Chains A and B, each alone.
Chain A
Amino acid sequence: MNLEFNEDQKLLFETVDAAVGRGYPAGARGEATSTERGWNDDVWNTLAELGLTGLTIDGDHGGVGAGPVEVYATLEAMGKHAAAEPLLDGVFLPSWLIAALGTEEQAKQWLPALAEGATTIAVAHAEPRRPWGSAPSVAAAHSGDGSVVLSGVKAPVRHADQASTLLVTAVDGDTTGVYVVDAAAAGITRADGRSADWSRASQVEFAGTPATLLGTTGTDATAAWHTAVARARVAVLAEAVGLMESALGHTVEYLKNRKQFGVPLATFQALVHRASDMYARVELARSMALWATATVEAIDGGADVDLPAIADDAFVFVGDTATAVAEEAVQLHGGIGMTYEAEVAHHAARLAAITESFGGLAAARRRAVASESALRAPSALLNNA
């Protein structure tokens, strides 16, 4: 039993921490998200050179085939600097979907390019005013010549403006599939906006847009989709932990340095105790995120555990903590914490974007509470009943 990084994983964290830290001095998230790309290209290239864009892609397809702990270490380090590069949304999640559903030919077509960092792929599932867990309303239709076209609206689609390709969930009769769409295909109308965390997001409308099914016809993608998304929901918690730790660090420094009534804010016990509570919550959240990560690793090793249920439990717990920590970080900074220049403002915005990602926290809680596991006696170890 062990929830620690091994030496290689420690080194990975330190490497990403150092590399991303160089590209993200104070205030850099605002600058990075306001570039045309929406992130820092130099940092992206460094990540690619370090092989991190190939982290989740197997060796046969140009990646390094690392596991969930390496994903955790990478994303926690990214979160620590509030970095905006879309490793998870633009590379990891699409790679999991392609590996799970795609044919070998499709894997060969897309995975090496992702691994190189030469491209990103946007995953389009959310639809306006439609529950994340419902079947998509975007529909696939077959033309006479055997080709497939999609119609309907997806929004928000994160980083769609930079993606070369979209992976779009759609229904074909009763069957849900994931479809590959070229970002420049005919019949696509894109309205670009931004997420609350200042990263890019778009509404994408398909009108008879040519598409290719990921995988082979007749296979329902629902289970594989849920598994890949559950993996992503666990992975994003690592970023949340990094963001929370950083927000706490900034808040502690602010309490030490900011003076009112002629004394540092740290003189006031009411404020200090709130910082202590933030610390306690962050550490519990870190434990939960590490535990969920270790569980995914065990599942990859053959353990019979319900990954989406684990992801719901962890997402709810860490998400609740993220909200509380972000609120306290802003509140303890006072008005300055709400400004675009303040780092904790970006932490808070990104944490809010995380809690509402992948269908959001409330939906995760609804599923978890309805699940039979809600009343099952908890045990963090897999063989300690």
Chain B
Amino acid sequence: MDLELSREDIAFRDGVREVFTREIPEDIRRRNALSRTTHDDIVTTQRILNAHGLAVPHWPVAWGGKGWTPTQSHIYASELQRNSVPQPLAFNVSMVGPIIAEFGSEEQKRQFLPATANLDIWWSQGFSEPEAGSDLASLRTTARREGDVYVLNGQKTWTTLGQYGDWMFVLARTDPDAPRKQQGLSFLLLDMTTPGIERRPITLVDGSEEVNEFFFDNVRVPVENLVGEENKGWSYAKFLLGNERNGIAQVGTSQRVFADLAEAAAGIPTESGTLADDPQFRTSMHSARTTLLALEATQLRVTGASENGQASPVSSLLKMEGTKALQELSKLRMRAAGDDSMLLPPDGDAGESLHADDAATIAAAQYLNQRKLSIFGGSNEIQRGVIAKTILGL
């Protein structure tokens, strides 16, 4: 066993860290640490990363991928998170990009992949529907073939950052008579300027507007925007779900949140000293700390196994336990803030004097927002089902 990065790994880490800390503006990283990242922050960051060859390292080499080892991929994801760099937009780099690269036509690859890597196109995900959440395959949005177009009708929801979307990848039903609900779905690319699309923002419990609903009323999608074969969309979506599990446990993010909270605690007064001396706080932090050590060690095991060419079935475990750990830390941050987290600025610019950038001020709102972690990307109940079926044979 070996708990040290090799000299080559350290050189690699220092190289990516240099880009992350020198090239990505400090104010962008600070906002990201406070979950206040803007549209422009995400675009600026991804273009800088792309210019340094660091936006789409996991794509095929022909399209900008780096062919890294599993250890290098692990270091990359970890350093992004530890340095509060806004992640390259997942819809682009982890979802539609790999699908087009794997299943798209040459024309689609040329049209979309470079622009997707550089975030010249902002992609949205059109999967979930009001009646198709965890049970995605029961989705009802239809794409009826009429000559050289598909006519799209239906509704998508939970579309994260869809307000910025230039294009959307949509899973829609092209064969309503297929014997199984997983059959008869197709993967379509939709230009969001097409007539017939209506967006309705969804306000979340913390006041953020990061998700949306979309309504399609006879939206016409050219047939050349079908990816792969008609009615094979489910298999592409499943490829996507198995793709890109690096950083899924967000251990780097949790490590940073832990360090920030530990540092803040020394400046938070209690009746008898500071929070850093409070036994209850220290006990909770110690528990979080050991959980993060176990999670990171699990990631190292997974990375080591894939270095040896073995697939590891534990991504469900990492997703479930990693998000629980980050949620727990957001709760500790709120507890540390107490009612300092209960005076938020009003919407708009008027509240700048109320220190909206202060970690304590936003702690409760952030805690509420972080409930999403165990719901999106396959809820933790779905992950338990996956573990039971694929690992335990139950």
Contacts and interface: CB of A to CB of B under 8 A. Distances in A.
Interface of A: 1-4, 69, 252, 255-256, 266, 269, 272-273, 275-277, 279-280, 283-285, 287-288, 290-291, 293-295, 297-298, 303, 313-314, 316-317, 365, 368-370, 374-384
A382 B1 CA distance: 12
B3 A4 contact: no
A303 B280 CA distance: 32
B258 interface: yes
Interface of B: 1-6, 9-10, 13, 71, 255, 258-259, 262, 265, 276, 279, 282-283, 285-286, 289-298, 300-301, 303-305, 308, 314, 317, 320-321, 381, 383-385, 387-388, 391-394
B290 A317 contact: yes
Nearest to B383: A276
B290 A375 contact: no
A381 B71 CA distance: 13
A273 to B, nearest CB: 4
Contacts of A378: 255, 258, 289-290, 292-293, 296
A287 B283 contact: no
Contacts of A2: 1-2, 300, 304
Contacts of B2: 1-2, 294, 298
A137 B294 CA distance: 37
B3 A382 contact: yes
A283 B394 contact: no
A279 B1 contact: no
Nearest to A281: B321
Given A4-B1, A279-B317, A369 B279 contact: yes
A256 B388 CA distance: 11
A313 to B, nearest CB: 5
Main secondary structure on B side of the interface with A: helix
A229 to B, nearest CB: 19
A280 B317 contact: yes
Contact of A380 (B71, B296, B317, B391): B296
A284 B314 CA distance: 10
A365 B287 CA distance: 9
Given A3-B1, A375-B265, A287 B290 contact: no
Contacts of B392: 252, 272, 275-276, 279
Main secondary structure on A side of the interface with B: helix
Given A255-B394, A375-B262, A378-B258, A369 B298 contact: no
A259 B119 CA distance: 55
Contacts of A369: 279, 282-283, 286
A299 to B, nearest CB: 10
Nearest to A314: B290
A266 B394 contact: yes
Nearest to B298: A287
Nearest to B258: A377
Contacts of B282: 369-370, 374-375
Contacts of A255: 394
A374 B297 CA distance: 18
B10 A383 contact: yes
B255 A377 contact: yes
Nearest to B303: A1
B285 A375 contact: yes
A316 B300 CA distance: 21
Contacts of A69: 1
A329 to B, nearest CB: 13
Contacts of B300: 1-3, 287, 291, 380-381
Contacts of A1: 2-6, 9, 71, 300, 303-304
A276 B295 CA distance: 17
Nearest to A280: B317
